[in-house]
Amino acid sequence: MRIGILGTADIAFRRFLPALQKCSDITYAGIASRTPEKTVSFTQVYGGKAYSSYETLLADESIDAVYVPLPPALHYEWGEKALKSGKHLLMEKPFTTSLAETKKLLSLAKKKKLTVHENYMFLYHNQLEKIKELVANGTLGELRLIRAAFGFPKRSEDDFRYKKALGGGALLDCGGYPVRLALELLGETTKVIQAKLQQPEGYEVDLFGSAVLENEKGLCAQISFGMDNVYKCELEIWGNKSCIFTDRIFTAPPDFYPSIIFHTKDTVHNERQNLDDAFANSICNFIKRSLLSNGQGRNVQIEKQAELIEELKEISR
Ligand SMILES: NC(=O)c1ccc[n+]([C@@H]2O[C@H](COP(=O)([O-])OP(=O)(O)OC[C@H]3O[C@@H](n4cnc5c(N)ncnc54)[C@H](OP(=O)(O)O)[C@@H]3O)[C@@H](O)[C@H]2O)c1
């Protein structure tokens, strides 16, 4: 498989291309930019061809798949163009900015028998696998509450995250992570029961927020997020036998050893986890499914995630 990139995004340079080098069955074809000079730093470090526009890259029939790390408001337009050009689609999160757009892209991919992927890479880290195992094997006992938070300090004013027209906003940018984690842990019956998005005066988009999600058994996840917050990236699961806490749950880089802290009635202990490369695992999952004739895989979760984001916005209104 040959993959190309639309846009000289920071995440493409810093995380996607180093991770791609660890994946087999794939070759990096090149990168397209609206401003061709911006591709130089990429070609110098990673090689590949520089395309003078997104359209020229999509017109290249030797490319089988595209990675789309554009601002969220452009995901639908370029995702649709990529699928119509017959390319598998590795979409950065959020998949699109609305449930309606997400449904349209999923249905187009199905019609074209192409694979789509939403790059919530934490889903592919062994840290989460271990946590799911602890829940499933009863180590925590009966679950009482899940708590997850993701937020970071203010970025530069011109960042797309603070711009409405580019699909900014804390919910779409960082809130999507704890929502996706709640869905993973609470299951397919997850719904939003309480939500508040905060848009301080002078901002075009929500800057921070919180919500409660619940499954059919009444188990709740309290989530919080923000993009003018002190850094937090954590998960706590409280059971009747043990409570676990872990940090960097959404962002653990390949050289970071995550740890899980276990609290029981009488003890506290810290268990260091193995290193893992969630980004490379996420790309490999996409490649594997793309190489199958009809690798639909995680499409149900992509749609459910978009539904939860929509519910959260609705309840907060
Ligand atoms: N999975 C993760 O861990 C993770 C982490 C960070 C970000 N992300 C996601 O990755 C995507 C990109 O994030 P980023 O922080 O890397 O973004 P970024 O550095 O701002 O890059 C976005 C790129 O989009 C292109 N673009 C096209 N039209 C644009 C417009 N009107 N305004 C601004 N840029 C435009 C630009 O490339 P050209 O100028 O070359 O065309 C730009 O370099 C987002 O969807 C974000 O949510 C994911």
> Which of 96-105, 230-239, 294-303 is the least confident region?
294-303
Quick one: average pLDDT of 128-155? 98
What gap in Å lies between CA 253 and CA 174, rounded to an integer? 17
Mean pLDDT of the chain: 97
Atom of ligand 1 nearest to the CA of 173: 47
Query: For 76, what's the count of Cα atoms within 13 Å in the CB-facing half-sphere?
Result: 14
Quick one: average pLDDT of 36-55? 97
Q: Is 299 in the pocket of ligand 1 (CB under 6 A)?
A: no
Q: Is 5 in the pocket of ligand 1 (CB under 6 A)?
A: no
The reported pLDDT for the residue numbered 297 is 66
Residue 298 clears pLDDT 90, i.e. is over it = no
Q: In the CATH hierarchy, which top-level class contains the domain 126-276?
A: alpha beta
Which mutation among 92, 128, 162, 285 tests ligand 1's pocket best, with the greatest number of atoms within 8 A of CB? Answer: 92
Q: Is 280 in the pocket of ligand 1 (CB under 6 A)?
A: no
220 and 214 Cβ atoms separated by less than 8 Å: yes
User: Can you give the residue ranges of every domain in the chain?
Assistant: 2-119+281-297, 126-276
Q: Is the pTM of this model over 0.95?
A: yes
The reported pLDDT for the residue numbered 255 is 97
Within its chain, how far is the Cα of 304 from the centroid? 14
Atom of ligand 1 nearest to the CA of 69: 11
| Alpha carbon of 289 to ligand 1 centroid (Å) | 25
| Alpha carbon of 70 to ligand 1 centroid (Å) | 4
Omega before 153 within 30 of 0, i.e. cis? no
The type of residue at 122 is F
Quick one: average pLDDT of 79-101? 98
Superfamily of structural domain 2-119+281-297: NAD(P)-binding Rossmann-like Domain (3.40.50.720)
* Bigger pLDDT: 296 vs 237: 237
Q: What share of the chain is helix, strand, coil (3-state, %, to 5)?
A: 40, 25, 35
Residue 221 clears pLDDT 60, i.e. is over it = yes
> Mind telling me the catalytic residues?
93
Quick one: average pLDDT of 86-95? 98
The reported pLDDT for the residue numbered 208 is 98
The reported pLDDT for the residue numbered 134 is 97
Which two structure tokens, joined as six digits, stand for 217? Answer: 């058994």
Quick one: average pLDDT of 34-50? 97
Residue 294 clears pLDDT 80, i.e. is over it = no
| Alpha carbon of 10 to ligand 1 centroid (Å) | 7
Which two structure tokens, joined as six digits, stand for 295? Answer: 């690798």
Q: Whose CA is nearest to atom 5 of ligand 1?
A: 11
What are 155-171's pLDDT values in tens digits?
Answer: 999 999 999 999 999 99
What gap in Å lies between CA 73 and CA 60, rounded to an integer? 24
The reported pLDDT for the residue numbered 292 is 83
CA-based R_g, the chain, Å: 20
Residue 295 clears pLDDT 60, i.e. is over it = no
Query: What percent of the chain has pLDDT above 70?
Result: 98
Residue 155 phi, psi (nearest 5): -95, -175
Pairing relationship of beta strands 88-91 and 65-68 according to DSSP bridges = parallel
> Which of 138-142, 268-272, 293-297 is the least confident region?
293-297
Which residues does 202 contact at the CB level (< 8 Å), separation at least 6? none
pLDDT band at 3 (very low <50, low <70, confident <90, very high): very high
The reported pLDDT for the residue numbered 180 is 98
Domains 2-119+281-297 and 126-276 share a fold: no
Which two structure tokens, joined as six digits, stand for 230? Answer: 């002190």
Instruction: Using the CB atoms, write b or e for 63-100: b if 16+ within 10 Å.
Output: bbbbbbbbbbbbbbebbbbbbebebbbbbbbbbbbbbe
